[in-house]
Structure 1
Amino acid sequence: MEKALKSHFDGKEDFDVEFRLKHKSGEYKWFHSRGAVKRDRSGKPKRMSGSISDIHAQKLVGGKIERLSQVAQQIPISVIITDEKGNIQFVNQALIKLTGYSQEEVLGKNPRIFKSGESPDTYYQVLWNTISQGKEWRGVFHNKKKNGELYWESVLIFSLKDINENIINFIAIKEDITEKKQMESTLIDHERLIRSVVNNLKDGLVIANLDGNIQLFNHGAEIIFGYKAYEVMNKPVVTLIDEPYKEKHLAGINSFRTTKLLSKQNILLEAQGIKKDGSPVPVELTLTQMEQRGEVLVIGLIRDISERKEAEQRIELAQQQIIATQKLAGIGELAAGVSHEVLNPVNIISVHTQVLQKNTTDDPKIQNFCAKVLHEIDRIV
């Protein structure tokens, strides 16, 4: 301060300095002083007048702003500060690195230079109306880099106000979520693919939780059991099981609820389900378990084997018919054999009896005997 006063008295420069003084409280505070020397005709200093003002609060705020600026430059997310009209006054290094623009190219410009053109103007109008009222705005932008490459960012915008509650700045904190969006897109594509596969399975797919309540019921299951998915969601899976199998199923559910392990996993089973109309349906069932977000689930892959069972019944009936035919054929062969062995001797007897009858016409007893023999032969033949 003494150097500044001396320089001013020597006429070298104006007196305009900032300095610290010790306050009555013992704290050192910042002050700002301006002054000017009045001189006589010969140029010698006669007196000095000026002003002194307390700038301690401003210095503290300025220090905080400087520290915040240093933090903003070092954090890995983008920061933009604009004036109350939306013109860019500050950008940090993260934004420069992300967008490919230099500070000189963005300072004084409107953030619309990052627009990709994919969002409607109404989207930005809602944004501006929100922050102009001093409210914060959160959303997502699909913006464009200097090289034309598109990127996604999650954005928080809020305002800074002066002591009179007038908005003096807008601050935007923006996080690059391009990779996250790509992962989400991939997951959505995979989910759609899985849903398409599940819903186009000809077999039924039923998923139940630890309590045995249905959590998924695909189109194949709808065809097999006649229910729509919404009719059985969160209903006991025992609803789909025919009466003779229910007791065994409930015992299995109780065991599974205790041990959280399936006793028959990945084993092909045959059971009988019950349709919505009450008619039974034979099914082939494979059970497996999985864990999703800490919840144990049972997956049942179900195939309607009605046609197979009917085919098996037809085959069994045909086999029975073949066996019966074979038995009849055997009996016929036996009968033919017996007929051959019996008829040859009978024919010989018949011939001899007829000769005897012809040569003994004068003996009534022999004639009567021959007539009886020939009658019995006719019965046999």
Structure 2
Amino acid sequence: MDKRVYESIMKTNKKTDEYEKHIQYLNQLYAVLAQTSQAIVECSDEGSLWDRLCRVSVEMGGMKMSWIGRPVEDDRFSILSCFGTGTEYLDGLYVSSSAEVSEGRGPTGVAFRENRLVICQDFLEDDHTHLWQNLAHHYGWRASAAIPLRRAGQPYAALTVYHFEPNIFDQKMIELLEEIATTISFALDQFDTNKLRIKAEDRLRLFAKVFEQSNEGIIITDLRANILTVNEAVTKLTGYTESEVIGKNPNILSSGRQDQEYYQFMWDTIQATGHWQGELWNRRKDGSEYAEGLSISQIVDAEGMITNYIGIFRDITLRMETAKALLDAQQRLINIIDFLPDATFVIDKERKIIAWNKAIESLTGIKAQDMIGKGNYEYSIPLYHRRHPILIDLALDFKQEQANHYQSIRFTQGDVLIGESTTHHILSGKTALWANASVLRDSQGKAIAAIETIRDVTQQKEAEEKIQHLAYYDALTNLPNRVLLTERVNNAISEAESKKETLVLMFLDLDHFKNINDTLGHRIGDLLLTHLADRLKAQFGNQEVVFRLSGDEFIILLPGIDTDRVVCLAEKLLSEHSQPFHIEGHELTITSSIGIAFYPLDGLDFETLYKCADIAMFFTKQEGRNSYRFFSPEMQLHSVRQLHMENALRKALERNELRVFYQPQISLATGKVVGMEALIRWQHPEFGLVSPLEFIPLAEESGLILPIGVWVLQTAIHQLKSWQEQGQPPMIVAVNLSAVQLRQTYFPQIVQQCLKEANLPAKYLELELTESVAMSQPHKAIAMLDALHALGISIAIDDFGTGYSSMAYLTRFKINKLKIDQSFVRKIGNNSDAEAIIDTIIGMTKSLNLETIAEGVETKEHLDFLRERGCGEVQGYYFSKPKPAEEIQIWLENWSNNLEGRITKERERSC
């Protein structure tokens, strides 16, 4: 054999051995991570958690020895737990967290003090470990890792592990160590949460005392407004005892004075804002009526779900009757005096006020009794700028030449002056007024009086200014918009060209901003954008360099700046934006992705620079977000690939590259197949098997999801009809519905046409939409689901439990089934929280008379748990993976043939 060939083979074998050993080490750390998560579930205190962690690090993680310690008062580490070869090394060990001593500058001290992972690839050669190298050599330790364990984000303890092989920790292993640290830190925070829960229970007992002793009536209801409890004050105010009202609606107190629209507005306000406050006339048990001041609020749990309503009221009968009497008297006075809609006053020829109506009192805040008979311009101060005569004065002795000094005044026939002023001042500040003044003359033509009518046109002026402002500024954030950006960039390019300088365009886009809109609503999302805009403006002072394009996209224009300053600015922006925003009780942390383009390097005009910055921003998101990237030509090539993939997707249907796979849905009560979920696949000759996670977003963004969705619907419906004609037992076919399809007003007609073409009754079709899609635009979702439900089609909510559904909206959706997300099912047997969520969902569906189906069933333990909890239907790999129709046909025959035997076994097992 040639010597070079032999050497090449030997090198290849060596690399293979090294790769296999690396995989082994990674698997060991994955095992440690899994056992750490298990320990968190099982351990109720820190001590047992430390012991488990040290043990699994050695027994499963391949470490020689591990120990956990934390500094005490003198900064010296106290050993909390240890395990492995050489633990006696820890006896009398002096490691400090202080940088002032040599013992504090080792890996463990640095990791704790600087709150970061410290890796020592060769313990025997590292300059920072010389104090402990003799002991390490004795026990055969070559590499170490010191990991800070955080509590509430701050270092609380440190885990130190030792390995027998140098240079063992690569980037992947380091990331796993970081993930282990994060998992342990979560457990520490959970311990603290339990302490807070106990404190909350004490506060709950205190609330119960306040509830009973309050002088105000307090009523607590369930979500259907059925009374759950009342305090003693309710009995005193209404005459009803607690036993007489429990389980009833508060409308038993209604006097009938308020109509249904009043109550509808009240509940609409509660659902929209979470609170309503107003006044009602109600009736006591003895039949007497009384007025009450009532406040109704939603009670929400820790996850923001509405659980109850609380009403607090007091008797305000006397105040209401007094106010009504006063209002009646005032109204009679207004009807007599205030008959002119505009503010009007009259002066005589001596310029003394002889009339001052109610409207002008409202405008100026000055009563008639303070103005009648006054002259010498005393009345001019509240309305007009002191340096100029008022319009009514000019009307009395108007001369045409005076018009040259007052451009806003014009003279018309009949001795009428019409003017407009922005220098008027009334109580609310500077106000724009329109006015006209007419002269009253005697039979000789002499002026004897003048009348002026004034109208507040401030809102009209502000509207005009606002329209002008909106042309160039964003209405939500008040930042310059794209129109002004284009103008500013073109000007900046011209200036940069003349000065031979650079120009930087930074494209800033928020990461996962859609999640905030979907979960907390667009109002919270808008508030977040305004807070972010304020933060951006504050960073640049008075410089108008930040622009909002649309949504969560911002542009920063920076002339005359070099690369180093751009880097510093980008890092500062990322740091500032990662700080939490506190909005209406929500602590929101959101990161940004930044793309950067330079003039003239990347483009010579606005559109080119914008496109390059956009592409760079897209790559930032692709590579993990919360960072920045400079544009490069390679990015353009990648964007071209994305375009090719989108073009290929446009032809996928006509080239027959799309497939529909089916996964069975099983009834736990009968063991029979009750449905098939239709799932799309794309096999492309060049790109290979493209993940739906990649091509479905492309389809939604490009609008291709509409024809693809219709094709999947037609294919699934015709396949089910074919199975029926072949004698398969009755079942439904479930087809997923995208957000884009949900927005199609004519989608129900499409579905109806597909059913008609296949001659399939609507009851055999089930449409699935995810919880987040349903809640993104709940009002539109309600209308669409109503239309589909009217056709007889079954509706299911997919991935239930992963979003933030409003129970009020959920009860308004005409749905038939809730689908428990597989992320909960897969945790059965390992996570009590997930099991509790499943219990809650199943219980809720029963109370709402809905069906329940669980996806992701992969083990018998999953199946048994769901059967015991009363889940109706299941699907998952335990029964079958998604398969093409022809393979499912064979599977159905085998399942049907073996059904009776399985039912007999299940009965024997249950006995």
Shorter-chain TM band: 0.3 to 0.5
Larger radius of gyration: 1
Structure in which a larger fraction of residues adopt strand: 1
Higher RCO structure (Cα 8 Å, ≥6 apart): 1
TM-score by length of 2: 0.18
TM-score by length of 1: 0.40
